[in-house]
Amino acid sequence: MKYRDYLKERLGNGEATVFIAYSDNEPVGFVLNYHTFSSVSLARVIVLNDLFICASHRQQGIANKLIGNVIELAKCTNSARIDLGTAIDNYTAQALYEKIGFIKDTEYFSYSLSVA
């Protein structure tokens, strides 16, 4: 199966970048990244916010390629790191991230406050 080149599109005022994977001119997956700054690290940070691959195209290396684009984006923007989160029971995603080299945080907890 041939995949069209990934489309990089900066959204709005450059606060986000999305990479879209295509198969036969149909979108089959995407990764959405936000650009932020860490005052602790004194450096840019990419937040890999959403990664989705259509069920019919999973296990074909598409997520790996999309994340590879995010890594290149981080390098090109002189970012210090890429941050992401996933569900505690999403073992498939965790295995992929750890295989690529992401390290699970054991030092900090994540908190959220709903204001809606």
Reported as a single tens digit per residue, the pLDDT across 32-88 is 999 999 998 899 999 999 999 999 999 999 999 999 999 999 999 999 999 999 999
DSSP H helices in 11-104: 62-76, 91-100
pLDDT at 3: 46
CA atoms of 93 and 66, how far apart (whole Å)? 13
* Cβ neighbour number for residue 39 with a 10 Å cutoff: 6
Least confident of 60-64, 74-78, 103-107, 108-112: 108-112
- Match 């999305």 to its residue by tokens: 18
Least confident of 3-12, 13-22, 68-77, 98-107: 3-12
Give pairs for 107-116: CB < 8 Å, separation 24+.
110/85
Show Cβ contacts of residue 32 under 8 Å, excluding neighbours closer than 6 positions: 16, 17, 18, 48, 49, 50, 51
* Cβ neighbour number for residue 74 with a 10 Å cutoff: 19
